[in-house]
Structure 1
Amino acid sequence: MMEQFKQALFYTAIGKYSIVVVQLLVQAVLSRILTPAEYGIVAAVNIFLVFFQLLADFGIGPAVIQNKDLNKKELNDIFSFSLYIAFGLAIVFIFLGYPMSLFYGNDVFIPISMILAIAVFFYGILVVPQSILLREKNFRLVNLTTVIGSVVSGVISIVLALLNFSYYAIIIGNTARAATLFLVFYMRTDIKIRFKFNWAPLKKIFAFSRNQFLFNFINYFSRNLDNLLIGRYFSSSALAYYDKAYQVSLYPNQVLTSLVTSVIHPILSDYEDEKERIKKVYLRISNLLATLGMPLSIFLFFTAEEVILFLFGGQWDGSVQAFQILALSVWLQMILSSTGGIFQSANRTDLLLLSGILSTVFNVAGIVIGISMGKIEYVAGFLVLSFSLNFLQANYLLMIKMFKANLLEFLNVLKKPLYLALMQAAVFWFLPELPLNIFFSLVVKGIIFVVVWIIGLFLTGEFKRLKLEIERARGTAPDNN
């Protein structure tokens, strides 16, 4: 298993880090060309684009990865079904701009929806080819293609923004990305379209895909209701400030967590009946993510202004306070993002669905309370509270209901990372104001963070644990799993 993990992590690391670099560069350029109001329009329409991507997936992707018995003919039938679904959803999306324009009070969403309908179609039909490649553990091709798609999207968006295409620059770039991903995935899987297909393969994956889809459906509303309501009751600029703060708070997930979580399900799905093995992997992953994430959350809290203004420029100062608050949830989100793949690997999408329902209840309550208080900072604060509650319920379901273990066993792996975070908090709390510009202030604080973190690793003994994990990854130390 570790050989598969090493290969998967290697190619996924190249892909994920390359994408983050590309996205940061593209966002740094676009954020200095487009206004927060223009970004707000894109953020508003993306809420609906993500929803239609969810509908197009229908839980099929993870089900294809999990079910190793599907043959080529059955995969062709499933792909053909997804083609019809994607086409129907694209037609619906064409006309979605009319109710969107009424909801937001802006007619600009009518032409935007007509363009993005193309993206909806391509995102819908790439699900099965991509999942087949992941099932075959072809992480190299999947990640390389994703990087190419991001580069294509970024170049097109920047060129069009410079040509004064406004928010259409991002929208057309996103559409080009979806088309690029599909074309490469389709050509490399040799999958065929069948205009008359058999329903039997769909019935074969229905139980798994149903629970997965329902979880994704519920999770969508808990994750996007904040943007939806801010866009409706606040200004486009307020939505842009909040969305930018929220997206930056997700970068650690993209850089640190998604590297691991994107390979959890494809790899661990081979060990569905070995719950103890899966539990040990989860505990090791959680400890690693907490060791990185807890101190990082403190660092981002104290450097929120430098991070936002350095990345996006002075016109985005309205995002600083919201990001500072959301920074406290970075480590929570890092660990939470790994739980879905663990539920899937053990074929317990029923518990995944239950966790999603509870998450929605907590998130919706927090968002509504925050919106009613009239500031994006309140929305951010109550979201941090809801993430904390979701962290507890998800791990309760994992450790007690699925693994039949003790919750204290999980909490124990967080003890030393907590000490690392407290050390960072003490240092930055007493650190005086630095008479430096944004860039050099961020550099100096970054160096302080790394030095304190390394000292903390030695003092807590976590350095030995990290060294052991690295040796296991290289194959120079025995792996107990």
Structure 2
Amino acid sequence: MNIKNELRNGILISAIGKYSNIIIQFFVLGILSRLLTPDEFGIVAIINVFLIFFTMLVDMGIGPAIIQNKSLNQKQLNGIFTFTILLSLFLSICFALLAKPIATFYNNVHLINVCIIMSFSLLTSGLNMVPQSVLLKQKRFFEVNAAQVISSIVSGIVGITLALNHFSYYAIVYSSIVRNLTMLIILYSQTNLKITKNIKKDDLSSIYAFSKNQFLFNFVNYFSRNLDSILIGKFISVRALAYYDKAYMLTLYPNQLLTSVITPVVQPILSEYEKQHKVIKQTYLSLTKILAFIGMPLTVFLFFTSKEIIYLLFGSQWTGSIPIFQILSLSIWIQMILSSTGSIFQSANRTDLLLLSGVLSALLNVSSIIVGAWTGSIKYLASILVLSFLVNFIQTNYLLMIKIFQDKQREFYKNLVDPLKISVLMLVVLAITNYFLGEASFLIQLTVKIIISLIIFILGMKFTGNYKIFHFILRNRKGEN
């Protein structure tokens, strides 16, 4: 099977699983958002910031390193798996011990019990890492996605049931633990991994060079992606954090719909072409073009439907999220394309440049977040952060096109011209529509805007001659090179 067919089949399997998972999550989140208050969501959002940091420490870049390294045998995998178990257990205990200091920092005693209980979520998440990476390495995308869907269903039922029985924010906490535990049971049963008594240094050194740079990238990237939540929760308010967190989460869903479907497939397949940079470059440009044609018009659509979407998904009690979502939606197309770049750096075995890109991004994002938090307004913070994403978009693609592919950046940016044309046309039409539908109900406004946006998108794809672009994913051509 050639690279295009492998990518297409992998992406289709991943898409079915991911979209099913997102539909389930949307359904569950919509119910929980009506059963729980923004303040209750804010409590969990604070702990999640620290949970993400410890999850990164557990990972240490080991997952991508397992996928990239083609010489690992079963004994080495067992040694790495055993190491991650011990590491997960140690870091989970450390996380639980930090419960009181975190609660003191935010002056909120409710955080103590939540933090202690969430340490179990950290433990189960860490145990999932190696089994999932092994299955992805073997290109068993169906098993991984099936596990994600099943675990979302089970955890969703648990979360809703607990919320209905007045468990408050603990409904979200226990739901997270159940999701990770269900994933662990399913994934582990699909592998031949065993716990070993002896962990050899060679087992870890075989992936050290790759995982070191990946971990350092994840480390600096954490602060550029999460410092905003830390500072908002501390210096503005828990409620403001809840509004911001909901808006930011919505801007990430397009990535989950597209790039999170593509990227788990890209590295396992492209890693076999590590020395063939031309193959990796062409794949990257093809993916970029697809993401631009979806991301740019989607950015415009979400900007003009922010109110309708917030009301539909979460209810009127989340009105405070609307202006934040509108601002952050401007970065959606940027984040979609940027989210695909990590797999390209990894596939070319240039995690050193991935680390450099992460450091540059972190410096800019952290500076922007600090300035935004200093203003005391989450609107200003969101606006400055969008500008930061744009600059990082430019520097990341410079490193890819110039340093790795040794090509001109013009070849990359010309992929954005036609998507920009369609997006500008959509912006003008939706702005006019917004003016004339100002007094209509949010459901009528949303319906009309969806229809208009789809018509403009389809006609735009036709008139720019790009309607065949999605055949990369959908068409099954025999003998294709």
Among 440, 444, 455, the alignment partner of 1:451 is 455
Q: Which residue of 1 aligns with 2:466?
A: 462
1:475: how far off?
Answer: 1.6
In structure 1, how many angstroms separate the alpha carbons of the residues matched to 2:109 and 2:97? 12
Larger CA deviation: 404-413 vs 184-193: 184-193
Match of 2:280 in 1: 278
1:433 aligns with 2:448: no
2:401 aligns with 399
Letter in 2 for 1:168: Y
Residue aligned with 1:174, SS: helix
CA distance in 1, matches of 2:116, 2:327: 36
Which residue of the partner structure matches residue 317 of structure 1?
319
Which shows bigger deviation, 100-109 or 435-444?
435-444
Partner of residue 371 from structure 1, selected from 370, 373, 398: 373
Counting only pairs closer than 5 Å after superposition, residues 108-127 of structure 1 correspond to structure 2 as 108-127=110-129
What is the Cα deviation at residue 112 of structure 1? 1.2
CA separation of 1:477 and 1:125: change in aligned 2, threshold 3 A: same
Match of 2:266 among 264, 269, 282: 264
**Matched residue SS, 1:462:** coil
- CA shift, 1:256, in A, is 2.1
In the TM superposition, what are the counterparts of 1:29-428 in structure 2 within 5 Å? 29-428=31-430
Give the residue type in structure 1 aligned to 2:383.
G
Paired residue type of 1:459: F
1:478 to partner: Cα distance: 3.6
Contact 1:219/1:356 (8 A) holds in 2: yes
Q: CA deviation at 1:470?
A: 4.9
Task: Tell me the SS of whatever aligns to 1:474.
Answer: coil
TM-score (norm: length of structure 1)? 0.97
- In 2, distance between residues paired with 1:203 and 1:136? 21
Aligned-CA RMSD value = 1.2
User: What is the CA distance between 1:65 and its match in structure 2?
Assistant: 0.3
CA distance in 1, matches of 2:408, 2:123: 45
Asked if structure 2 preserves the Cα contact closer than 8 Å seen for 1:57 and 1:127, the reply is yes
Tell me the equivalent position of 2:446: 442
Q: CA deviation at 1:477?
A: 8.1
Letter in 2 for 1:447: I
Give the SS at the match of 1:273. Answer: coil
**Could you list the runs of 5+ residues in structure 1 that have no partner in the other structure?**
none
Offset at residue 362 of structure 1 (A): 1.1
Matched residue type, 2:345: F
| 8 Å Cα contact 2:67/2:137 also seen in 1 | yes
**Structure 2 counterpart of 1:457, one-letter code:** M
Verify the 8 A CA contact 1:95 1:110 in the aligned structure 2. no
**Deviation readout 1:47-86 (Å, 9 max, x if unpaired):** 0111111111111000000001000001001111111101
Is the partner of 1:32 in helix, strand or coil? Answer: helix
Q: Distance in 2 between matches of 1:291 and 1:3?
A: 21
Letter matched to residue 213 of structure 1? F
CA–CA distance in structure 2, aligned partners of residues 37 and 109 of structure 1 = 12
Shift of 1:476: 5.5
TM-score (norm 2): 0.97
| Structure 2 gaps, min length 5 | none
Aligned mates of 1:400, 1:284 — CA distance in 2 = 17
Secondary structure of 1:241's partner? helix
In the alignment, the residues of structure 2 paired with residue 476 and residue 191 of structure 1 have an alpha-carbon distance, to the nearest angstrom, of 37
Q: 1:245–1:323: 8 Å Cα contact kept in structure 2? A: yes
Task: Give distance in 2, aligned partners of 1:463 and 1:205.
Answer: 42
Code of the aligned partner of 1:452? I
Offset, 1:195 = 2.5
**Contact 2:49-2:226 at 8 Å conserved across structures:** yes
SS state of the match for residue 165, structure 1?
Answer: coil
Once residues 353 and 13 of structure 1 are traced to their aligned partners in structure 2, the CA distance between those partners, rounded to angstroms, is 28
